[in-house]
């Protein structure tokens, strides 16, 4: 039986210093039936020059957008226009794989379990500034579980760099329909409700955190407004989950993402956004923590705000 074609889709924007490692790690996969696609949304030709040496590899294709599309539209172009694989994975241009057998392992799980709609894996988060490296994922053996369980037990499963999913189903579900920085999570969480999920606990990729990540540089006010994506997922999930499970998931999501945004707001000394988050989402944070955040502004409380990735 012929192995299914897998597309590694690599969107990039002005990342010539990182893109070579991303492409090298993708082409280093030992899986036989593979294509690696780069959709370049850059404002210059540096990325094209860096990737020129890969043009001789039949598995590799490079596309330069004639007009800048933006992050999410570039995702959609890769998925809907460029990729030909039955299964696909989106690897951002500043991240890279560290396990050359990951695609092979994922496809083995897919072939063993017909109901699987997503294969995820652990990854490492590398902070370039501090050099600190952390593991992000599930501390468990290889598992296959109901996708609905992601909402109550496995919050680390939706991770764009490692999640392999069927292209046809993703198109049916209108992947990357949400224009926010959380477009990937919004799509992946909805996907999990349509079948089983397989998981490989070892770290297979590196998410590189640096001074140019969209997640960390986008206007905080916009990111706060974009939190509506949580309610969008919640509304969709209510078709598949009972209300208590969906409510718990929504509360946990708001709590963890607000902590991340609060961390950035305090670091930037943009206290108006601290107040905005507390006023809008205090019901999820709880009145005690909300009070703590407000007291930190005036210096009455010194406990640092922690942030979840």
Return per-residue pLDDT of the chain as tens, 309 residues.
Answer: 689 999 999 999 999 999 999 999 999 999 999 999 999 999 999 999 999 999 999 999 999 999 999 999 999 999 999 999 999 999 999 999 999 999 999 999 999 999 999 999 999 999 888 889 999 999 877 789 999 999 988 888 999 999 999 999 999 999 999 988 899 999 999 999 999 999 999 999 999 987 655 554 568 888 898 999 999 999 999 999 999 999 999 999 999 899 889 988 888 889 899 999 999 899 998 888 888 888 888 775 555 555 444
Task: For residues 193 and 291, state if they share a domain.
Answer: no
Does 211 lie in the same domain as 76? yes
Q: Examine the domain organization and report whether 249 and 159 are in the same domain.
A: no
Task: Please indicate, yes or no, if residue 51 is contained in any of the structural domains.
Answer: yes
* Contact (Cβ atoms closer than 8 angstroms) between residue 286 and residue 298: no
In a domain, 162, yes or no: yes
Query: pTM for this one?
Result: 0.89
181 in the same domain as 104 = yes
Same domain, 13 and 87: yes
Q: Which of 147, 181, 216 is the last residue of a domain?
A: 216
Instruction: Indicate whether 31 and 161 sit together in one domain.
Output: yes
Domain boundary among 200, 216, 232: 216
Q: Would you call 276 exposed, middle or buried from its count of C-beta atoms within 10 A (0-12, 13-18, 19+)?
A: middle
Query: From CA 37, how far away is CA 133, in angstroms rounded?
Result: 28
What's the domain count of the chain?
2
CATH number of the domain residue 12 falls in: 3.90.550.10
Domain extent at residue 267:
219-297
Helices (H), the chain: 16-27, 46-51, 71-77, 102-112, 167-172, 183-192, 214-217, 220-225, 228-237, 243-267, 271-285, 287-297
Do 187 and 281 lie in one domain? The reply is no
């Amino acid at each position: 039986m012929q192995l299914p074609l897998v597309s590694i889709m690599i969107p990039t924007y002005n990342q010539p210093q990182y893109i070579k490692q991303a492409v090298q790690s993708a082409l280093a996969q030992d899986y036989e039936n593979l294509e690696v696609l780069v959709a370049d949304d850059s404002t210059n030709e540096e990325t094209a020059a860096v990737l020129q040496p890969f043009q001789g590899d039949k598995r590799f294709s490079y596309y330069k957008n004639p007009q800048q599309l933006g992050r999410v539209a570039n995702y959609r172009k890769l998925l809907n226009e460029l990729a030909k694989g039955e299964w696909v994975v989106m690897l951002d241009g500043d991240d890279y794989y560290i396990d050359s057998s990951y695609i092979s392992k994922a496809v083995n799980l897919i072939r063993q379990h017909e109901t699987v709609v997503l294969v995820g894996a652990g990854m490492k988060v590398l902070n370039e500034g501090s050099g600190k490296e952390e593991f992000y994922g599930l501390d468990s053996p290889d598992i296959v579980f109901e996708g609905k369980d992601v909402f109550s037990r496995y919050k680390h499963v939706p991770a764009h760099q490692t999640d392999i999913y069927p292209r046809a189903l993703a198109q049916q579900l209108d992947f990357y329909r949400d224009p926010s920085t959380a477009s990937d999570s919004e799509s992946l969480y909805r996907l999990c409700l349509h079948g089983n999920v397989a998981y490989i606990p070892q770290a297979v990729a590196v998410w590189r955190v640096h001074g140019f990540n969209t997640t960390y540089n986008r206007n905080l006010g916009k990111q706060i407004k974009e939190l509506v994506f949580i309610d969008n997922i919640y509304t969709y999930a209510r078709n598949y989950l009972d209300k208590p499970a969906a409510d718990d998931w929504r509360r946990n999501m708001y709590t963890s993402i607000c902590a991340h945004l609060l961390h950035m707001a305090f670091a930037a000394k943009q206290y108006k956004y601290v107040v905005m988050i507390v006023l809008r989402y205090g019901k999820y944070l709880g009145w005690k923590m909300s009070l703590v955040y407000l007291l930190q502004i005036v210096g009455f409380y010194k406990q640092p705000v922690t942030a979840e990735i």
